[in-house]
Copies of this chain bind each other. A is one copy, B any other.
């Protein structure tokens, strides 16, 4: 019985230790990753403006809409 509780106590030590270690490491890595990303994003801010294919898209959408309309509403006289 005491043996089992002893095991439990050691499991607690090990468990809480690992939880703190793991989440502590996570704090460190998250902070690191955030800094890297923020630095990178700051750099990227100036030459951003990525709207490349906007014209193509518009054409796509409108031509599809027109075709759709025509195919749904054939002219009959």
Per-residue interface assignment for chain A, residues 55 to 69, with 1 indicating a CB less than 8 Å from any chain B CB and 0 otherwise? 001100110110011
> A51 to chain B: which residues have CB within 8 Å?
73
Indicate whether A6 reaches chain B with its CB closer than 8 angstroms.
no
Interface set, chain A 15-64, CB cutoff 8 A to B: 51, 54, 57-58, 61-62, 64
* Chain A interface mostly: helix
Indicate whether A72 reaches chain B with its CB closer than 8 angstroms.
yes
Q: Please list the residues of chain A having a beta carbon within 8 angstroms of any beta carbon in chain B.
A: 51, 54, 57-58, 61-62, 64-65, 68-69, 72-73
> A62 to chain B: which residues have CB within 8 Å?
65, 69
> A65 to chain B: which residues have CB within 8 Å?
61-62, 64-65
